[in-house]
């Protein structure tokens, strides 16, 4: 391999999504060099329709990374959320119970801001790469190889950050004799619709109904995101826009259904629900971040936020290593990240069980679910615990 195709950096980052880009931006502001590689195009990454709820910790990282200006200008600040059942709803007040709130700002916009920041700083990103391979991750001189436009490339580095998602190469690079995977699959999916319509409510509505779960969310004042629980074998083509809106109205309180503004879907998709964690999140000089290491059901909006907490722990550890010569942060990265990951998994799992209809539920199970909802509605202590988890546990 010619030297022209070989580069060196301190941290090689696999994955040009928000977690990889956020890590690179934070490192750059501390003078730590990185190169990002991404198997898809920039346009493809920006076309992904993803989460839009940012925990307070994520917002803090955006500010530390110097990319919060547009977010602060355009975001919605939510000081609570609505939970509906039996044709009525109650509010959990985040500000009252925790002193903080969450921000509604789409993942696409976060990613766009991160790309803009990286381009301004002249940071290296290689898009459309193929055949990414991780070498000597458990040794003292790790490196990546990949192919782009028929040319082979090599990146030598001190550390590798695997931010390449559930289907990426990073997790698979950890031997099966080392990694342990925990998984729960759910017997339903979420049918999601994006529409250029005003939100039905100023805050999110999480709805439990006899017909299944529904969620009313938004991206901005004229772009709404709605979801309904559906069968795993459903296809988006099975659902016309009219069918979707009619079903959504059946699952939310009548007062909200009556003022719901409907319109043509801009995007329609079905996502299965899964809880997944792999341990450890570090092998030698390879560190897993985000979906490469864990998946949560979307109930409670923990996916992107848990990736951000991984970035926090890894960024902090790398800073300590390069600035202070202290390896404690990277040595304990997996331990610290997983301690928070499992708490986020618990919240997502618990909230999913609270709000969905399961095929195997007995009458007793349904009574217990109803009792849980009643208890959350009536107990300030229960609402405080819910709020603490929703706005984000401390790093």
Question: For the segment 93-123, what is each residue's pLDDT rounded down to a tens digit?
Answer: 999 999 999 999 988 899 999 999 999 988 8
> For residues 88 and 217, what is the distance between their CA atoms, to the nearest angstrom?
17
Question: Do 305 and 176 share a structural domain?
Answer: yes
Closest CA to 107 of 303, 282, 297, 239: 303
Question: Do 369 and 228 share a structural domain?
Answer: yes
As a whole number, the mean pLDDT across the chain is 95
Question: Do 69 and 11 share a structural domain?
Answer: yes
- Residue 88 inside a domain? The answer is no
Number of domains in the chain: 2
pLDDT digits (tens, 9 = 90+) for 57-85: 999 999 999 999 999 999 999 999 999 99
- Residue 380 inside a domain? The answer is yes
Catalytic, 115? Answer no
Question: Do 29 and 110 share a structural domain?
Answer: yes
The angle formed by the CA atoms of residues 9, 15 and 21, to the nearest 5 degrees, is 75
Catalytic, 206? Answer yes
Question: Do 52 and 36 share a structural domain?
Answer: yes
> For residues 135 and 146, what is the distance between their CA atoms, to the nearest angstrom?
11
From the candidates 201, 294, 302, 356, give the one annotated as an active-site residue. Answer: 302
What was the pLDDT predicted at 220? Answer: 85
pLDDT digits (tens, 9 = 90+) for 223-256: 999 999 999 999 999 999 999 999 999 999 999 9
- Residue 97 inside a domain? The answer is no
Domain boundaries, position 245: 186-273+357-391
pLDDT digits (tens, 9 = 90+) for 342-359: 999 999 999 999 999 999
From the candidates 85, 315, 333, 390, give the one annotated as an active-site residue. Answer: 390
- Residue 85 inside a domain? The answer is no
pLDDT score of 282 more than 70: yes
- Residue 95 inside a domain? The answer is no
Question: Do 211 and 148 share a structural domain?
Answer: no
Question: Do 250 and 196 share a structural domain?
Answer: yes
Side-chain half-sphere exposure of 262, counting CA atoms within 13 A: 13
Question: Do 113 and 134 share a structural domain?
Answer: yes
- Residue 92 inside a domain? The answer is no
Question: Do 255 and 284 share a structural domain?
Answer: no
Catalytic, 78? Answer yes
Question: Do 297 and 202 share a structural domain?
Answer: no
From the candidates 199, 227, 298, 322, give the one annotated as an active-site residue. Answer: 298
Confidence tier at 49 by pLDDT (50, 70, 90): low
What was the pLDDT predicted at 2? Answer: 47
Question: Do 108 and 56 share a structural domain?
Answer: yes
Q: For residues 141-153, give the mean pLDDT.
A: 95
pLDDT score of 47 more than 90: no
CATH classification at residue 215: 3.30.9.10
Confidence tier at 46 by pLDDT (50, 70, 90): confident
CATH classification at residue 57: 3.50.50.60
What was the pLDDT predicted at 219? Answer: 86
Q: For residues 299-314, give the mean pLDDT.
A: 96
Question: Do 376 and 263 share a structural domain?
Answer: yes
From the candidates 206, 226, 227, 315, give the one annotated as an active-site residue. Answer: 206
């Amino acid at each position: 391999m010619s030297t022209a195709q070989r580069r060196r950096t301190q941290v090689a980052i696999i994955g040009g999504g928000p977690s990889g880009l956020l890590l690179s931006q934070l490192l750059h502001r501390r003078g730590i060099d990185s190169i990002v590689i991404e198997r898809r195009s920039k346009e493809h990454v920006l076309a992904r329709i993803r989460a839009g709820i940012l925990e307070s910790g994520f917002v803090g990282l955006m500010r530390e990374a110097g990319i919060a200006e547009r977010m602060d200008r355009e975001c919605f600040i939510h000081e609570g959320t609505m939970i509906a059942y039996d044709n009525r709803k109650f509010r959990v007040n985040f500000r009252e119970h925790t002193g903080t709130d969450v921000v509604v700002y789409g993942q696409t916009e976060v990613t766009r801001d991160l790309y803009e920041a990286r381009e301004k700083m002249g940071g290296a990103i290689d898009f459309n790469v193929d055949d990414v391979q991780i070498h000597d991750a458990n040794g003292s001189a790790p490196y990546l190889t990949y192919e782009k436009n028929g040319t082979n490339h090599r990146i030598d580095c001190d550390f590798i950050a695997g931010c390449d998602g559930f289907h990426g190469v990073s997790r698979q690079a950890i031997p099966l004799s080392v990694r342990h995977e925990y998984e729960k699959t759910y017997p339903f999916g979420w049918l999601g619709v994006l529409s250029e319509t005003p939100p039905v409510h100023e805050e999110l509505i999480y709805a439990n109904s006899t017909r299944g779960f529904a969620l009313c969310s938004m991206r901005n004042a004229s772009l709404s995101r709605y979801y309904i629980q559906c069968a795993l074998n459903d296809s988006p083509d099975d659902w016309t826009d009219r069918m979707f809106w009619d079903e959504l109205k059946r699952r939310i309180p009548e007062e909200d259904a009556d003022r719901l503004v409907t319109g043509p879907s801009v995007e329609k998709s079905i996502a299965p629900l899964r809880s997944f964690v792999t341990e450890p999140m570090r092998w030698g000089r390879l560190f897993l971040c985000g979906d490469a290491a864990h998946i949560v059901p979307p109930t409670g909006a923990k996916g992107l936020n848990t990736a951000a907490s991984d970035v926090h722990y890894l960024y902090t550890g790398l800073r300590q290593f390069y600035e202070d010569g202290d390896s404690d942060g990277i040595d304990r990265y997996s331990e610290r990240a997983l301690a928070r990951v499992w708490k986020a998994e618990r919240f997502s799992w618990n909230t999913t069980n609270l709000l969905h209809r399961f095929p195997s539920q007995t009458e007793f199970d349904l009574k217990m679910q109803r009792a849980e909802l009643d208890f959350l509605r009536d107990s300030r202590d229960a609402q405080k615990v819910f709020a603490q988890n929703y706005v984000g546990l401390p790093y």
